[in-house]
Chain A
Amino acid sequence: EAQVTQNPRYLITVTGKKLTVTCSQNMNHEYMSWYRQDPGLGLRQIYYSMNVEVTDKGDVPEGYKVSRKEKRNFPLILESPSPNQTSLYFCATAQGARTDTQYFGPGTRLTVL
């Protein structure tokens, strides 16, 4: 079954404590992306990756890092989380360069106290 998996699904943490949200896909998709969803703002893109070792900033990259060392994984790293990063995070994948049809993971709800 084609899947995009995110872990953890829920996380409560404190300001400044480094964390990583993992994203894994089994569809052999080249493209992967991270979004955050906030009430009234829709989904905003944080970072995306067109392929292994190729990453680029989205619209709201500040405070986040990513890496793409292998095709199936695209972790989102918050080196020093702050309360304004409390949000619902989604990982998405797409085949090749057809980023108009993206498949989303189930989401990770992060609360930073």
Chain B
Amino acid sequence: GQQLNQSPQSMFIQEGEDVSMNCTSSSIFNTWLWYKQDPGEGPVLLIALYKAGELTSNGRLTAQFGITRKDSFLNISASIPSDVGIYFCAGTDPNMIYNQGGKLIFGQGTELSVKP
């Protein structure tokens, strides 16, 4: 089936630094999503992207849907300790129109550690 490759797998940064992570696929996706998982919790949706080229911000977070529809990146500016967690990219099955159909494919995750 479709797979998403997320990198880096882990990051150790200093508070205040900017962070960038990305996700690539060998096939196109109709939707790109970015989730964050806090320790001991379920993932929470951060940003959803629906059009190729779309750039969307949510506070200090910015994500883009790649023009080729095969990649996406997430940037976090001026990181703070509460940014710690695992960030997942996800995409909806490209064989399903209008994001329907039920299948959501996740990347392996990027574990972020922030040193105060």
- The answer to whether B104 touches A100 (Cβ under 8 A) is yes
Which of B9, B102, B107 makes the CB contact (< 8 A) with A56?
B102
A residues in contact (CB < 8 Å) with B: 4, 31, 33, 35, 40-45, 48-50, 56, 58-59, 90, 92, 97-107
Q: List 15 A-B contacts (CB under 8 A).
A: A40-B9, A42-B4, A48-B102, A50-B102, A90-B43, A97-B100, A99-B99, A99-B103, A100-B31, A100-B33, A100-B104, A101-B45, A102-B104, A105-B42, A106-B40
The answer to whether A97 touches B98, judged by C-beta atoms less than 8 angstroms apart, is: yes
When distances are taken between beta carbons in the complex, the residues of chain A under 8 Å from B92 are 99-100
- Give chain A residues whose Cβ lies under 8 Å from the Cβ of B73: none
Q: How far is the CB of B111 from chain A (nearest CB, A)?
A: 10
Nearest B residue to A105 by beta-carbon distance? B42
Tally B residues with Cβ within 8 Å of A: 29
| Contact between B31 and A42, CB atoms less than 8 A apart | no
Chain B 29-60, CB-CB to A under 8 Å as 1, else 0, gives 00101000000111111001010000000000
Question: In the bound complex, do residue A44 and residue B106 qualify as a contact, i.e. CB atoms below 8 Å apart?
Answer: yes
Residues of chain A within 8 A of B65, CB atoms compared? none
**Is B48 in contact with A40, judged by CB distance below 8 angstroms?**
no
Q: How far is the CB of B81 from chain A (nearest CB, A)?
A: 22
Q: Which residues of B contact A101 (CB under 8 A)?
A: 33, 45, 48
